[in-house]
Amino acid sequence: MVLEEFGLAAALQDIGHKLSTPQLRLRCQVVLDEAATALAPTLQMALYRLAQELALNIAKHVRGATAASLELETMPGWVLLRAEDNGAGFALASAPAENPGLGLRSIRDRGALLGGSSKPRPPQPAARMYVFGFPSLFSPPHDTLVSRR
């Protein structure tokens, strides 16, 4: 697996490379704050799976998007994962938080296990964004199983 062999930044780049098409360019970027604590392997795996699910959601469900990005940013005490595309967006009244599909529900649930939260941002003209934030010092409870695929 790319994550285990080459690290989180390379694994996210791999997601972007594999899911980009001639119609949709998916750019992935990792911004690591040198002052931030190194991320635990279990947290890196969770971030990788979240990024993978967000990227798959964009590739499968976004209508009219030609460009998308995933950005992972660390800062002291926090990790942010942003997903953005230039697709049609959605009306806030019917936003996925109200009635999420399986993918978005999975993202929300995984984040909650890490003490974080996700939310869609109001769509800009021809754009939509998800921001996902949680503590970077997360340590799973001893009875928590971390699955690997």
**Predicted pLDDT of residue 146:** 37
Q: Give 96-123 pLDDT, tens digit per residue.
A: 445 556 767 777 787 777 777 666 655 5
The DSSP code for 115 is T
Candidate from 5-19, 25-39, 130-144 with smallest mean pLDDT? 130-144
Under CATH, which number does the domain 2-135 receive? 3.30.565.10
Domain residue spans in the chain? 2-135
The DSSP code for 77 is T
Q: Which residues pair with 143 in a beta bridge?
A: none
pTM score over 0.85 = no
Of 2, 86, 83, give the one whose Cα is nearest residue 44: 2
